């Protein structure tokens, strides 16, 4: 099965059911009064993390998800049925972004964890709800609230404690195969690893952690060259980075230049990857020139950078590196994927839209005005405008929202045409 770690999908929550206008009509029951019931709630779009999935393959081939609408209300004050939520299952480690503004909406890191991305619309109220002493027989009802629509970018970011970085063919896959039961493809050509591989590593003293062998980096990876854009996504969660270097320079590259190039790519990527603990492993120490290159490398990087020599195929130097990795993990903090501009460090469970009370007024010229804003547009969509009572109720809402006053302040005159979505009416002072 192909490893699919990114998908763009459209989701729409269900519309609420409409309320109804109805009256009791029973023999020998005078003045029965209103009996219109409320509509049911529309279905929400819910994402659920599960360990039973390992890729986003289902989302790659099914890009449109729409929850069902709530049932309309009925006579005799009967409430319409609520629609079932649409649950979309994704692998643990999935991040959900608004693909329009790039905002991180949810980060699912635990099995069975759920997040409501788009709430279903609430059901409209029936005329029973509008009865009062002044109007005991109202002909007002509400339509169901529209559902929410989003274009989402869904990304899988592996839940590994340790990430292996380095140029292609430096021995990352060999190292992972030696220290765990993972069996990545190993060969003497570049990019044998084109998908991430995970393995559970057991340290001789009993400690354990999850290690990821990730596709090889090249210069320009942070700008998307090679497999870099795929690789860097998966290292975002890693708390410790293990930098493996071909110390023999067997492909004609200089080990120190390799070290600087990889760290430059890490520094240019988001999430401050270079701020995380890094263990440097000098691999292929059995080849000619490795000892001399190691001495020169240590002089250039200084005493602050600890380097662990290793010959992976024969397990030489493996334990010392594993102890160092485990020690670094013990001290490494948990890494959050939320940015630092006011985002919470905790996992989101319900995504709330922005300020829904705001609205804007635009002068289109020739006495035509347009009002836009989530709350006023929703009021139009839910209004029952085919009766006098319904239109009067809508006008009162606009006044309470401050639309009348704002239009007047903007210069709207008596008789001017005001447009909200596809509904138009004349402004009267």
Task: Mark the binding-site residues, compressed into ranges.
Answer: 166-173, 191-195, 213-216, 283-286, 311-313
Asked whether the beta carbons of 214 and 167 are under 8 A apart, the reply is: no
Binding residue numbers for Mg(2+): 173, 193
Q: Decide if 106 contacts 115 (C-beta within 8 A).
A: yes
- The vertex-112 CA angle with 110 and 113, nearest 5°, equals 60
Within 10 A of 66 (CB to CB), how many other CB atoms are there? 17
Strand ranges in 120-196 using DSSP code E only, listed in sequence order? 149-156, 162-165
Q: Which residues of 118-156 are buried (b: 16+ CB within 10 A; e: fewer)?
A: bbbbbbbbbbbbbbeeeeeebbbbbbbbbbbebebbbbb
Q: Tell me the C-alpha distance between 143 and 278, whole Å.
A: 58
Burial label, 172 (beta-carbon count in 10 A; 0-12, 13-18, 19+): buried
Q: Name the binding residues for GTP.
A: 166-173, 191-195, 213-216, 283-286, 311-313
Report CA dihedral (248, 253, 258, 261) to the nearest 10 degrees: 180
Instruction: Provide the pairing of β-strand 149-156 with 94-98.
Output: antiparallel
Cα(310)–Cα(14) distance, integer angstroms? 58
DSSP per-residue codes, 72-131: PPBTTTBPPPPPPPEEEEEETTEEEEETTT--EEEEE-STT-EEEEEPPPPPPPPGGGG-
Report the C-alpha gap between 91 and 54 in whole angstroms: 5
Torsion angle defined by CA atoms of residues 166, 167, 171 and 172, in that order, rounded to the nearest 10 degrees: 40
CA distance 386 to 335: 56
Q: Spell out a b/e string for 385-410, using b for 16 or more CB atoms within 10 Å of the CB, else e.
A: eeeebbeebbeebbeebebbeebeee
For the chain, how far is it from start to end, CA to CA, in angstroms? 67
Paired strand residues for 278: 241
Supply the DSSP symbol for 238: -
* Residue 142 three-state SS: coil
Contact 60, 67 (CB under 8 A): no
């Amino acid at each position: 099965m192909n490893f699919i770690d990114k998908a763009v999908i459209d989701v729409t929550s269900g519309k609420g059911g409409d309320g109804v206008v109805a009256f009791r009509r029973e023999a020998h029951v005078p003045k029965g009064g209103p009996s219109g019931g409320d509509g049911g709630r529309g279905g929400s779009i819910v994402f659920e993390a599960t360990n039973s999935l390992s890729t986003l393959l289902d989302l790659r081939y099914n890009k449109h998800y729409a929850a069902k609408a709530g049932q309309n209300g009925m006579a005799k004050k009967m409430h319409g049925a609520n629609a079932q939520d649409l649950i979309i299952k994704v692998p643990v480690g999935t991040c959900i972004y608004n693909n329009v503004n790039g905002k991180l909406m949810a980060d699912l890191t635990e099995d069975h964890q759920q997040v409501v991305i788009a709430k279903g619309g609430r059901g409209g109220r029936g005329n029973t709800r509008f009865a009062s002493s002044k109007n005991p027989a109202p002909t007002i009802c509400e339509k169901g609230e529209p559902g929410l629509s989003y274009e989402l970018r869904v990304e899988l970011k592996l839940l590994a404690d340790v990430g292996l970085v380095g140029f292609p063919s430096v021995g990352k896959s060999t190292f992972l195969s030696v220290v765990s039961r993972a069996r990545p493809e190993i060969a003497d050509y570049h990019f044998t690893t084109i998908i991430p591989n995970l393995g559970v590593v057991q340290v001789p003293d009993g400690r354990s952690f999850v290690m990821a062998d990730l596709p090889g980096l090249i210069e320009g990876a942070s700008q998307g060259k090679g497999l870099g854009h795929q690789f860097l996504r998966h290292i975002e969660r890693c708390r410790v980075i293990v930098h493996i270097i071909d110390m023999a320079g067997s492909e004609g590259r200089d080990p120190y230049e390799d070290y600087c190039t990889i760290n430059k790519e890490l520094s240019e990527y988001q999430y401050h990857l270079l701020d995380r603990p890094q263990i440097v492993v000098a691999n292929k120490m059995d080849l000619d020139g490795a000892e001399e290159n190691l001495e020169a490398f240590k002089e250039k990087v200084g005493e602050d950078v600890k380097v662990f020599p290793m010959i992976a195929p024969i397990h030489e130097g493996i334990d010392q590196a594993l102890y160092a990795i485990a020690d670094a993990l013990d001290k490494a903090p948990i890494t959050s994927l939320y940015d630092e501009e006011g985002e919470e460090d905790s996992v989101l469970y319900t995504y709330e839209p922005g300020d829904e009370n705001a609205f804007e007024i635009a002068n289109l010229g020739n006495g035509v005005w347009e009002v836009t804003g989530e709350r006023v547009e929703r009021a139009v969509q839910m209004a029952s405008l085919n009766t006098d009572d319904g239109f009067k109720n809508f006008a009162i809402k606009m006044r309470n929202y401050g639309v009348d006053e704002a239009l007047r302040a903007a210069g709207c005159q008596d008789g001017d045409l005001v447009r909200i979505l596809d509904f138009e009416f004349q402004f009267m002072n």
